[in-house]
Amino acid sequence: MSNPSRVDETLLTPLLYLERSAQVFGEKTAIVHGSRRISYREMAEHTTRLARALQSSGIRPGDRVAYLCPNIPEMLMAHFGVPLARAVLVAINTRLSGQEIAYILSHSGAKLLVADTELLPAAALHLGGCPDLEEVITIDELGIEPSVDSAPYSEFLERGSDDPLPWRVDDEFRTISINYTSGTTGRPKGVMYTHRGAYLNAMCEVVHSGFDRDSAYLWTLPMFHCNGWCTTWGVTAVGGRHVCLRAVRPDRIWSLIRSEGISHLNGAPTVLVGMANHPAARRLDAPLTVTTAGAPPSPTIIGQMEELGAKVVHVYGLTETYGPYTVCETQEDWAAHPAEERARLLARQGVAMVGADPIRVVDAEMNDIPRDGETMGEVVMRGNIVMSGYYDNPAATEEAFRGGWFHSGDLAVWHPDGYIELRDRAKDIIISGGENISTIEVEQAVVSHPAVLEGAVVAMPHEYWGERPKAFVVLKEGQSAKPEEIIAHVRDRLAHFKAPDLVEILEALPKTSTGKVQKYVLRRELWEGKGKNIN
């Protein structure tokens, strides 16, 4: 791709953002974590040392380095240090079960895992099954003894040096990170991001969230989610201040908004609901932009947030699109509408962001559907804000990219004003508090119960989480099991948030003539009167 002799070309990589902020805002605070304050100069120094330590530990260009950490400074700095070593960051969802974590470590072939000692026990028993994993490095913030053989992070860093590495890449399409998503077929797929895509999407976040050097960004969104929607890189680009947060609790959010002068935070609507309904909620003294995705914010929560003085930006995307791909741009004439109408307009997923290709909603033959607000089609995307593919999974990549477009699996209507609005999901996915849950994975856990003959899991509407799994099961003849036993059985096997809230025992599942379970029949009753089948 690159022609090194060109004076007019620098290949795009978010590493350039840290290079610049360290030069321009060297003594400015880059990261706040409790009483810790890290300047941009220190952030760049730490990043170099980390990259050098990775090299000294045998990490070579293209190798995968996994992180299992909450939103702490080391997790943020890994977004620069790992790519600076030309390696690939695999930030693992901290809520997964040990088996799930081990699968990701194995599939990605990660050679090194950096883990927080609070989170390590979940994975510890399963690490033996990861053939490529050579070493575990542990970060201990809470005084918790590491549960596996490992080197402390501080000692690991000592393997590094301050010898600078170039903040430059030789290929914009080099993979910068792999983010695992819950696939419909149960097994997570590794979504590959490129340096170019990360650079451009980070710039989109800057433009649409309105970040600048005075911004103070609160890390309510997990960094393992699409690399924090590329905001890890975007806030750094403008020299803003990252405010870390180990655990997302509304009281802590409110106290940090005040003590740190938070101007921006991102999160699923559930985070907003938690904030707005907390006793500490009080009208804001200074502007706060809250960017939300994962489910459409309800008119109620939009109204509540606006009453508190916050501006709500609604975005939509998938792991495959670096997080946000669309934004619900507000129009000048919306201000004249009553609050409820405005909230309804704002609850739509909207239009492509400035760096994204125009979004389309298509029928089965890839023709645009009518923009009538009624016809449903599949949302498809392409361009710089789309992944380069699934890691080590050409079949899934080809399937996702059929026809030259990324198929989201989300079903939407297209309004006459060009805004899309999600109505349903082709994929068997439940989105609960912004987290994807594969219904198939849950079904597999349900039917592994010895008394269960067959089962189907669908999303049911939930006021707080948006959606929660509900299981319908048929028991084997002569066998019995109580719903709570089945739920407990699933909780032993999967991350707890994936277990169904409800289990209903049926005589038989509704099926098509060819024997396929008609999930839409099960869903229909749960969503009656909602006008849509997802939240």
User: Which residues lie near its own copies (CB under 8 A)?
Assistant: 1, 5-10, 12, 16-17, 19-20, 23-26, 28, 173, 194, 196-197, 203, 206-207, 210, 212-213, 237-239, 329, 331-332, 351-352, 354, 357-358, 382-384, 386-389, 401, 404-406, 418
Residue 54 or 313 with smaller CB distance to its own copies = 313
Q: How far is the CB of 135 from its own copies (least distance, A)?
A: 32
Nearer residue to its own copies within complex by CB, 60 or 402: 402
Q: Where are the alpha helices (DSSP H) in 401-438?
A: none
Calculate the alpha carbon distances from 125 to 68, 100, 103, 144, 291 in Å.
Answer: 15, 12, 13, 17, 37
Contact in structure between 112 and 66 (CB atoms under 8 Å): yes
Q: Would you say 138 or 384 has its CB closer to its own copies? A: 384
CB of 374 to its own copies, least distance (A): 20
Tokens of 247: 């655990």
Task: Give me the sign of the Cα torsion angle 248, 250, 251, 253.
Answer: positive
Task: Pick the closer one to its own copies by CB: 212 or 504.
Answer: 212
Considering the complex, state which of residue 71 and residue 397 has its C-beta at the smaller distance from its own copies: 397
> Cα separation of 107 and 133, whole Å?
11
CB of 338 to its own copies, least distance (A): 21
Nearest approach, Cβ of residue 109 and its own copies (Å)? 22
β-bridge mates for residue 152, sequence order: 138
If the CB atoms of residues 200 and 509 are measured against its own copies, the closer one turns out to be 200
Closest separation in Å from C-beta 286 to its own copies:
16
Q: How far is the CB of 369 from its own copies (least distance, A)?
A: 16
Nearer to its own copies, 129 or 373 (CB): 373
User: Hey, which residues does 31 pair with through a beta bridge?
Assistant: 38, 242
Would you call 421 exposed, middle or buried from its count of C-beta atoms within 10 A (0-12, 13-18, 19+)? buried
d(CA 80, CA 40): 12
For residue 373, the 8-state DSSP code is S
Half-sphere exposure (Cβ direction) of 219: Cα atoms closer than 13 Å: 31
H or E element, residue 68: strand 64-68
Bridge partners of 265, per DSSP, are 218, 290
In angstroms, what is the minimal distance from the CB of 388 to its own copies?
A: 5
